[in-house]
Structure formats: structure tokens, C-alpha cells
Amino acid sequence: MRAMVMHEGGDVAGNRLTLQERPIPEPGAGVVRLKVLVCGVCRTDLHIVEEELPPAKRPIVPGHEVVGIVDRVGAGVRAIKEGDRVGIAWLQQTCGRCEFCASGRENLCLGARFTGYHEDGGYADYALVPEAFAYPLPPVLTDEEAAPLLCAGIIGYRALRLSGVRPGQRLGLYGFGASAHLTIQVAKHWGCSVYVCSLREEHRKLARDLGAAWVGGAADAPPDKLHGAIIFAPAGEIVPAALRALDRGGTVAIAGIHMTDIPPINYDRDLFGERTIRSVTANTKQDGLDFLREAAAVPIRPHTRRFRLEEANHALQQLKAGTFQGAAVLTME
């Protein structure tokens, strides 16, 4: 099979992924194999390739927004059968025994393993996933639409929940890439007024097109106090500004897996009034199931840009440069 493989990380300008032929993997007990149709290109992939996350496995095949058709199942698989269309997300395996797993917080499991980081991912013709972490995909979504939902969508949905925003309230989004452009569609479905701060004009245009109540630059202050906010941009300097934009009792949820250093926060000006900063760590399986059900009901329509598998380096470079709207998707055609 074809696979885009990273042997050594660094700046994506250096074309860190190499197209290779590899044996098709065989599924073990409790595992299913997908013939990959498409795989989203996530900002976390960028953090992995540029080693802003500490290296976990080398060589590694990135990619954790995987849509495919099950073509083989391992021993003991019961709920999934050959021919099913399923998705693979970031969280691929947990210990199932620790206090976090036992309390429905498997996203915090210290023994968790992640797709495209600890285990080979979807920048390839085939990929493996344990049955317990394979997501059935709503038929209303095309392959290309479903791919970015499997990380950008699920993480944005968890962040939306953790922001504490309720239907009809005011939500701020800082950064407007793949995850934010999906989150706004859920928030609008809830009847929220959404205020967007973004660095790039093309992203601000997409926010307007998707119904944002107000759109400004990355450092602009929204005209109204926010009940909650989500920071998608991996820029720590945004945190104090987002806190100042909150009404009393509001929460800033930080959705990224990596962020630059947060500058000093003034307690009296920025945090007092029971304002909260909350990080978002991966997702639970239930988050994914809930989000995909809601995504089908909206229905969410991602804006995507298509790249061929062998163009994965170019897709990562374009993602870093912020030159396209919405989400990038690799096709195996």
C-alpha cells in the first residue's frame, strides 16, 4: 500500500513526509481494517510533524481524521462488519481501568494512545482501529464532509460544551480555521450569536458567510460581552484579551493541543468576577457519538480543499500558511 511516512520531524517547508510502499497491515483481535477513502489534514498533524509535540513513534504515518470502508475484521469483532463505512479519530485506545476511564473521562487516561502519533494513521491506503473507537458515520455526510468532523469537529464540539455557552447566548471564537468553521454551525443551530476574531481576511469572510454576528481582527474587542469563548489559534497572547471580552461568570475554553506561552494575566482586570480558563484535552468516545449525531441533524457542511495523498506535504504547508478556508482533505484516488 501507499503511505506518507515521517522519519524525522522539523519545519514542514522541508517536505518531511515521504511516499513509500508498505505491506498492508493485518487487524488483530478486536481491531478492524479500513480501506481509506479520505483523511483530513489537522493542525495537530502539523504540531506532530514540526515536533511541537514530543516525538512518540518514528517512523510514523500521520492522520487522524480517517474515513474508510471496513475490508477486514479481527477476531472478536461483533458490532462492525465488512463493508461498513466508519471513521477513525484522534483517540484510538485507552487502558479502560484507571479512574478516568471508569468515570467516563477516558480522554484524560494516562495510557491513551493516539492515531497518527502512537499508531500509524490515515495518510495511507489502509489503516487500523480498535472496534471500540471506530465511529459509524451518518449517511447524510459525504466522505469528504465527514473527515474534518472526526477531530476538528469533535474537539470544537467538546470545547463548545466546556465553554458553558447555552442556546441563545453570545459566543466568541478566536481563530477561524477548520475547527471554528464547524463549531459556528453548531452554535448557530443552538441560536447563539457568534463573534469571531481572526487574523486573516479570507477567514473573516468565511465567518461572515456562515452567519457570524460580528467579525473582527485577531486583537479586536467584540462590541458585546461574551458568555463564553473558545480559542482555536495556538497563540497564548490571545488568552488575556479573550478573558477581558467575557462577561462575569464566563469561561474561555482553549481547544488546541499546543499553545505558545500565555503572558501574565492581571487578576483584577482579566480574571476577577468568576471568569474561568479551561483547557480541552482530546475527547471521549461519547463526545464523538454526540457530535456526529448533531452534525447530521444540523446538517454541518464543511468547507474543504482537496489534495491527493502524495500532496500531503503541500497540504501541511498550506495549512501552516493559512492560505485556504475550512479544512484540507487528502483523497486516496
Q: Are residues 117 and 193 in the same domain?
A: no
Task: Kindly report the CATH number assigned to the domain that includes residue 77.
Answer: 3.90.180.10
Q: Taking the model in full, what pTM does it have?
A: 0.94
Q: Are residues 60 and 182 in the same domain?
A: no
User: Could you tell me where the DSSP H helices lie in the chain?
Assistant: 43-49, 99-102, 143-146, 152-162, 178-189, 201-209, 238-245, 285-297, 312-321
In the structure, what pLDDT confidence band is assigned to residue 306 with cuts at 50, 70 and 90?
A: very high
Q: Are residues 307 and 251 in the same domain?
A: no
Q: Are residues 176 and 78 in the same domain?
A: no
Q: How far is CA 88 from the centre of its chain?
A: 12
Q: Are residues 9 and 93 in the same domain?
A: yes
Q: Are residues 8 and 137 in the same domain?
A: yes
Q: Are residues 220 and 318 in the same domain?
A: no
pLDDT tens-digit profile of 169-204? 999 999 999 999 999 999 999 999 999 999 999 999
Question: Cβ distance 245 to 219 under 8 Å?
Answer: no
User: Is residue 286 one of the residues assigned to a domain?
Assistant: no
pLDDT on residue 333: 84
User: Is residue 160 one of the residues assigned to a domain?
Assistant: yes
pLDDT tens-digit profile of 247-269? 999 999 999 899 999 999 999 99
pLDDT on residue 325: 87
In the structure, what pLDDT confidence band is assigned to residue 218 with cuts at 50, 70 and 90?
A: confident
| Helix or strand (DSSP H, E) at 196 | strand 193-197
Q: Are residues 134 and 216 in the same domain?
A: no
Q: What average pLDDT score do residues 158-176 get?
A: 98
> What residue numbers bound the domain in which 243 lies?
154-279
Which is it for strands 113-114 and 66-73: parallel, antiparallel or unpaired? Answer: unpaired
Number of structural domains the chain divides into: 2
User: Is residue 287 one of the residues assigned to a domain?
Assistant: no
Task: Kindly report the CATH number assigned to the domain that includes residue 178.
Answer: 3.40.50.720
Q: Are residues 30 and 76 in the same domain?
A: yes
Q: Are residues 137 and 254 in the same domain?
A: no
pLDDT tens-digit profile of 33-45? 999 999 999 999 9
